[in-house]
Every structure is written in C-alpha cells, then in structure tokens.
Chain A
Amino acid sequence: MRAALLLPALAMLMAGPATAEAAGAAPRTHVVVIDQMRFGPVPQGVRAGDTIRWINRDIFRHTATARNGSFSIDLAPRAQGRTVVAKAGKIPFYCKYHPGMTAVLGVAK
C-alpha cells in the first residue's frame, strides 16, 4: 500500500522538473487591481495558460473584456474573479461599462 503510493510520487518528483521544462513553466497567477476607475499596473511575464486574478476595489461594477474575445469577466463592486489567458499576443482590454478604462496585456506563448 505504502509502496504503491510512494512509487508514483517518486516518479513524479523525478519527472517533475524535466516535464515542467519541456512544457514551459507551470501556469502562474498574476494580479490586476482595479481602483479609482483605472486598471492598475498590468503584470509582466504573462504566458498563455496563466491565470489573471482581477481585484475590483471600486464601489462600481466593472468588466475586464479582451477586444479579441480572449477573456471577459464581470466584477461586482469590491469583488474579484479569475480568467485564464488562452491566447498569446498583445491583448487590449477595456471595461464594457466604462469604455474609457483601457489597458493592454502582453501574453507570451
């Protein structure tokens, strides 16, 4: 029983770094804060498959909507949510309710 559990774990440990190397770094989570009617600094080093955690600190409802349809999230006041960025590229995004709120997310492959 114990050996049965240990063996795959050991195999994973040994294969772990090599597999991650081959498939690129493991997906990471980045944060974008929305506050005072602005998108805060957009994270650098985002890769396709990573997650963006959107934190809305405003008392207003906002969205973060990619112009290319790659992602869209609707955030209630003071709410947060996550989107996975599937596609690489320079992705302009905006708030559907407040179209003056814009930013660009750079996503590497």
Chain B
Amino acid sequence: MIQKSIFPVASVAAALLAAAAGTPAAAVGEAPTDPQIAHIAYTAGVIDIAAARQALAKSKNATVRGFAQEMVRDHEAVNVAALDLVKKLKVTPADNPTSAALTKQAKADERRLAALSGAAFDRAYLANEAAYHKAVNAALDKTLIPSSRNAELKSLLQTGLKLFREHQSHAEHLAAGLK
C-alpha cells in the first residue's frame, strides 16, 4: 500500500523535474517556454479533474466525494482562466515531454485506482492527491513560476500554487483522518 502510493510521487516528480533539467524537446538546462508552461499547467489540472471524476464515480464516502467535487470546481476554474489568458495573449499551448509524461503517469494511476474499491480506493485516492499536488507544487515553485516570462501567466501560476498548496494540505489532513 505504502509502496504503491510512493511510486506515483516519484514518477510525477521525475516528469515535472524533467522540465527543469531540460527535456528532449529543449536543450539541456533550457527552461520551459511560456507555451510549454501553459500546456503543463493545463494538463496537470485536466489530470486532477479526471482523477476527481473517477473518485465521484467510485467512492461512497461523503468526505472523499466532497473533496473530489472541490477538485473539479477549483481546477476547472483555474483551467478556464488559463484558457482565457492564452486566448488573450494569442499563445498556443505547446505539447511537450513533461505534459506527455504526466498524462502517461496519470493513466497508470487511473488503472491502479480502478482496481480498488471502498475504503481501499478512498485511501489510495487521497494519498495520490496529496502526493500529486505536492509534486505539482514543487514544479510550480521551482521551475514553472521562475521560468514563466509573461507577468499574467506568472500571476495565474502563483494563484494556482496557493490553491494547490491548500489542496495538498486538505488531502493530507483527510488522508490522516480516514480509518
């Protein structure tokens, strides 16, 4: 159980840190561009919304469902703002290996969680949420925010970081309280 919940953390963190180290799409040491950053941030939101929808389809725990509803609502709000912003800036989000790695990892997590049910699913979902937000927050803080050039994009990412830190601690708190 513990091994399983650590695994995705490492993978997500590796995928996100690849953005810092430079990926095959960018020369080594090169920071991600704004179109890439926008794509990564949007993808990270889409992944969390999909995970929440899975939780809403599977979980009967009112607390877990409440948290999942909060994830859908908040991440959709950020992604709507992100889409509005890229439209306004006439930026086309650029797919990149970090986004691809995140999506690949999310599919693996989704399959792993699909095999669980009841309290085992609830525990795994919340553990995954805590770990996922932690990894995304580290990437925002260390890479995506410092690398972003456009002030409005940077500001939206900073708002996102405040929100996702709250999500992380909320998930950790709920996970600790689950029997």
Which residue numbers of A lie inside 8 Å of B, CB to CB?
Answer: 36-37, 59-61, 77, 97-101
Using known A-B contacts A59-B78, A99-B170, A100-B170, determine if residue A36 contacts B162 with beta carbons closer than 8 Å. yes
**B159 interface residue per 8 A CB criterion:** yes
On chain A, the residues within 8 Å of B169 by CB distance are 100
Return the 9 tightest CB-CB contacts between A and B, nearest first.
A37-B162, A100-B166, A98-B166, A59-B77, A97-B70, A100-B169, A60-B74, A60-B77, A59-B81
Q: Mark B59-76, 1 if CB is under 8 A from A, else 0.
A: 000000000001001100
Which residue numbers of B lie inside 8 Å of A, CB to CB?
Answer: 70, 73-74, 77-78, 80-81, 159, 162-163, 165-166, 169-170, 173
On chain A, the residues within 8 Å of B159 by CB distance are 36-37, 59
Q: Which residue of B lies closest to A96 (CB)?
A: B66
What are some 13 contacts across the A-B interface (CB < 8 A)? A36-B159, A37-B159, A37-B163, A37-B166, A59-B80, A59-B81, A59-B159, A60-B73, A77-B77, A97-B73, A98-B163, A98-B166, A100-B165
* A-side interface mostly: loop
Contact between chains at A60 and B163 (CB < 8 Å):
yes
Contact between chains at A61 and B73 (CB < 8 Å):
yes
On chain A, the residues within 8 Å of B166 by CB distance are 37, 98, 100-101
On chain A, the residues within 8 Å of B173 by CB distance are 99
Q: Which residue of A lies closest to B163 (CB)?
A: A37
On chain B, the residues within 8 Å of A59 by CB distance are 77-78, 80-81, 159
Interface centre among A77, A97, A101 (most CB of B within 10 A): A97
Contact between chains at A98 and B170 (CB < 8 Å):
yes
**Whole-angstrom CA separation of A61 from B77 in the bound complex:** 9
**Whole-angstrom CA separation of A77 from B155 in the bound complex:** 18
> Other CB < 8 Å A-B pairs besides A36-B159, A36-B162, A97-B73, 16 of them?
A37-B159, A37-B162, A37-B163, A37-B166, A59-B77, A59-B81, A60-B73, A60-B74, A60-B163, A77-B77, A97-B70, A98-B70, A98-B163, A98-B170, A99-B173, A100-B166
Q: How far is the CB of A104 from chain B (nearest CB, A)?
A: 19
Q: Which residue of B lies closest to A97 (CB)?
A: B70
On chain B, the residues within 8 Å of A61 by CB distance are 73, 77
On chain B, the residues within 8 Å of A97 by CB distance are 70, 73-74
On chain A, the residues within 8 Å of B163 by CB distance are 37, 60, 98
Q: How far is the CB of B120 from chain A (nearest CB, A)?
A: 25
